[in-house]
Amino acid sequence: GAGVSQSPRYKVAKRGQDVALRCDPISGHVSLFWYQQALGQGPEFLTYFQNEAQLDKSGLPSDRFFAERPEGSVSTLKIQRTQQEDSAVYLCASSPGRDRGRQKTQYFGPGTRLLVL
Amino acid sequence: AQSVSQHNHHVILSEAASLELGCNYSYGGTVNLFWYVQYPGQHLQLLLKYFSGDPLVKGIKGFEAEFIKSKFSFNLRKPSVQWSDTAEYFCAVNAEWVTGGGNKLTFGTGTQLKVEL
């Protein structure tokens, strides 16, 4: 079946511009995650949805970052007034279930590479 | 809070050499453990995972990992590497039996493996 897809794959933004990154999870997956991966680092957690509910947004670095998943499927990560330090790869992952064992295995999309000039 | 350490940042091996990549985590409760691989130009793929039971888990492409609870370790091994194993390897952990924020993955900084012919 289809995996996690993300769009756009690459985005160049001028400092101060707003951007929106889209994630299509694997069909039927309840949980959806956003991560930020800086160059040479491992992915770092941003936020987590269970269906349409955003249960954890502790990793969002500032109030310029906003995520939504209004119908419990597609999700959008929005960054307002982008700064150069926002340049990174933004990864989306989904998992089948909620809180137990194998249901927590996360499958990753290809990521969106954001460059802020 | 969870943290993951990968001590080897860059590893260079010749084909047919044996591989062991270290991963240590810190978390007081029950954890799920993962190794992900990122081949050049590709997205993160699940290599193997541990939830419970036999602490020696086997993954794809001949990889295996051993969970040693007393050492908080989950080292990745392969008896004989191939040129095609050149990639970046990430160890990750999430907490079991914790709702909400416990579902997030905490990653190590990654190990870049280069296999020379």
- Whether B43 and A105 lie within 8 Å, measured CB to CB: no
Q: Is A55 near chain B, with CB under 8 Å?
A: yes
pLDDT at B106: 92
| Nearest chain B Cα distance for residue A76, angstroms | 18
Q: Name, in order, each residue with C-beta under 8 angstroms of A99's C-beta and a sequence gap of 6 or more.
A: B97, B98, B99, B102, B103
Give the three-state DSSP class for B76. strand
Q: Is the pLDDT of residue A89 over 60?
A: yes
Query: Given B100, B101, B107, which is nearest A43 (Cβ)?
Result: B107
pLDDT digits (tens, 9 = 90+) for A94-106: 998 765 666 678 9
**Residue B98 pLDDT class (50, 70, 90 cuts):** low
- Look at residue A21 and tell me whether its pLDDT is greater than 60: yes
Specify the 3-state DSSP secondary structure of B84.
helix
- Higher per-residue pLDDT: B34 or B99: B34
Residue of B1, B3, B94 whose CA lies nearest to A100:
B94
Within 8 A of A41 by CB-CB distance, chain B residues are 109-110
Q: What pLDDT was estimated at residue A100?
A: 61
Distance, CA of A35 to CA of A42 (rounded, Å) = 9
- Torsion of Cα atoms, B44 then B48 then B50 then B53, to 10°: 160
> Where does the pLDDT of residue B28 fall: very low under 50, low under 70, confident under 90, or very high at 90 and above?
confident
**Mean pLDDT of the residues in chain B:** 91
